[in-house]
Amino acid sequence: MKKTIKLALVAAMALGTTSAFATNGSALIATGAKARGMGGTDIGVSHGAESALANPALITSVEGTEVQFGGTLFMPDVSYKMKSTGGLVPAGTTLADGQSAADMSMIPSVSLATKVNDNFYWGVGMWGTAGMGVDYRDEGGMEMVTNLQLMQFGVPLTYAISGFSVGVTPVLQYGALDINYNNGNTDPNYAGTGAGIAQDLAFGFNLGAAYQIADVTIGLAYKSQIDMEYKGQLSSATAPFAGMGIFSEPMGDKLSTPAEIGFGASYNIAGSTIAFDYKQIKWSDAEGYKDFGWEDQDVFALGYEFAAESWAVRAGYNYAENPIKDAGAIALADFGGTMTEFGGNALNTFNLQGFPATVESHITLGGTYNFSKQTSVDLAYVYGLESETKLATMPADANTDGNPDTDTETTVTHSQQSLSVQLNYAF
């Protein structure tokens, strides 16, 4: 049974076979087109069936049954440049650079919600929720290739009474992870360090509550941590560094999806809706991410919608500080003779070249056109403003004598664009 479910999820994820960078760390700012057009606000404002994952208590806006089929074309622009900062090679000399070829992917979204009676609502959905990756295989240097993809299947169950509603969405998550790079081997037949794609299935849950009074809606949401394990991935990727003495032993293979807790509110007047969300993503508690030194993210989202009888327009802004921080890199001048001192440099190298989830600010636009009372289409455009992150990275061995002799600093430049389309049918 588990294998059958996994195969079904793999088939659905075939829509997104290239690496995808998400936006708040490795998590999308939102999964549905309506929320994405409003800056990712989805905790205190209802978007119909697409609210099932963000806050299941908000599917109560569905009047009968609503089905939404959507997808996001995701287009990250990521590059890196490693320069000498002193030592054998003159400071400022470029040692390696590259442009990631993982610049386009498709992320699917399907939601259904139905009203059983005035008190009970339920639904079902499948959503691409997170991912990140780079492809530097033709760019020299470490030739890093990484690819993380997450998809969730959930069944929202909601009870409502007197303006108050509570909901739960049990979640089955499918994940796939691949990490491959060249650790310095010049043999043209060398396939790189990696163990091939690893997959896992695990369960979690999302909780939500909402209260509506007059034109104000207030929402609370919680997403549980989902513990994932990708056999042979992080352990294989960090083994060469452990062999050099940088880590005491290879990392484990757990890379958990972090817990989230959030609050949202919205106000509607004369066709205009203003929404605000705050949530915290618990990277520092999640296996794998905490090993790489990721810090918790405070995410702030602001959205606006104006809705007429047959159309609506939306805009928004989303901000979350980069969770990747300096892991404690040292310079050769402070090198005491043991390679374990370069553990911080190694983590910085992995974070910037393999998982540079560094975009912080996002501007969003969106809209809806109603063809009839039953059918409509949503559009959303999200632009992740370009960010530039610099950290000290692994010292280079410029004269190839087996000893580090050149300090390095890596700069990652990262921006994003995405276009979401969603078809809605209500009956």
pLDDT tens digits for range 117-134: 999 999 999 999 988 889
For residue 1, is pLDDT > 60?
Answer: no
Identify whether the C-beta of residue 416 lies closer than 8 Å to the C-beta of residue 21: yes
Q: Is residue 188 helix, strand or coil?
A: coil
Q: What is the pLDDT of residue 21?
A: 52
Q: What is the pLDDT of residue 10?
A: 36
C-alpha distances (whole Å) from 41 to each of 142, 171, 201, 299, 382 are 38, 21, 28, 10, 13
Cβ-count burial 163-182 (b if 16+ within 10 Å, e if not)? eebbbbbebbbbbbbbbbbb
For residue 393, is pLDDT > 80?
Answer: yes
Instruction: For the chain, give the percent of residues with pLDDT over 90.
Output: 75
Q: For residue 282, which of 294, 271, 273 has the smallest C-alpha distance?
A: 294
Q: How confident is the model at residue 41 (pLDDT cuts 50, 70, 90)?
A: very high
Please state the length of the chain: 427
Across 9-18, 284-293, 337-346, least confident range? 9-18
Rg from Cα positions in the chain: 23
Q: How confident is the model at residue 6 (pLDDT cuts 50, 70, 90)?
A: very low
Q: For residue 31, which of 142, 151, 119 has the smallest C-alpha distance?
A: 151
Amino acid in the structure at residue 102: A
Q: How confident is the model at residue 189 (pLDDT cuts 50, 70, 90)?
A: low
Q: For residue 264, which of 50, 41, 53 has the smallest C-alpha distance?
A: 41
For residue 183, is pLDDT > 90?
Answer: no
For residue 418, is pLDDT > 60?
Answer: yes
Alpha-carbon gap, residue 205 to 222, rounded angstroms: 8
Residues 6+ apart with CB under 8 A from 157: 56, 121, 122, 167, 168, 169
For the record, the structure tokens of 384 come out as: 């992740």
Per the model's pLDDT, the better-predicted residue between 191 and 209 turns out to be: 209
Q: What is the pLDDT of residue 131?
A: 83
Amino acid in the structure at residue 264: G
The string of pLDDT tens digits covering residues 48-61 is 999 999 999 999 99
Q: How confident is the model at residue 243 (pLDDT cuts 50, 70, 90)?
A: low
For residue 73, is pLDDT > 90?
Answer: yes
For the record, the structure tokens of 419 come out as: 């276009």
Whose structure tokens read 């003159």? 90
Q: How confident is the model at residue 5 (pLDDT cuts 50, 70, 90)?
A: very low
Identify whether the C-beta of residue 50 lies closer than 8 Å to the C-beta of residue 71: no
Q: What is the pLDDT of residue 204?
A: 98
Question: Based on the number of CB atoms within 10 Å of its own CB, is 215 exposed (0-12), middle (13-18) or buried (19 or more)?
Answer: exposed
For residue 3, is pLDDT > 50?
Answer: no
For residue 64, is pLDDT > 80?
Answer: yes
Per the model's pLDDT, the better-predicted residue between 406 and 251 turns out to be: 406
Q: What is the pLDDT of residue 116?
A: 97
C-alpha distances (whole Å) from 9 to each of 108, 114, 246, 326 are 11, 23, 37, 36
- The 3 state secondary structure assigned to 327-342 is CCCCCHHHCCCCHHHH
Across 79-88, 140-149, 202-211, 251-260, least confident range? 140-149
Q: What is the pLDDT of residue 190?
A: 57
C-alpha distances (whole Å) from 47 to each of 14, 73, 217, 222, 281 are 26, 20, 12, 18, 22
- Whole-number average pLDDT of the chain: 90
| Kind of pairing between the strands at 406-426 and 157-161 | unpaired
- Interval 190-207 mean pLDDT: 86
Alpha-carbon gap, residue 203 to 224, rounded angstroms: 9
Identify whether the C-beta of residue 44 lies closer than 8 Å to the C-beta of residue 210: yes
Q: How confident is the model at residue 226 (pLDDT cuts 50, 70, 90)?
A: very high
Per the model's pLDDT, the better-predicted residue between 14 and 382 turns out to be: 382
Alpha-carbon gap, residue 67 to 423, rounded angstroms: 8
Q: What is the pLDDT of residue 57?
A: 98
> Is the sign of the CA dihedral 53, 55, 57, 60 positive or negative?
negative
Question: Based on the number of CB atoms within 10 Å of its own CB, is 136 exposed (0-12), middle (13-18) or buried (19 or more)?
Answer: buried
Alpha-carbon gap, residue 105 to 71, rounded angstroms: 10
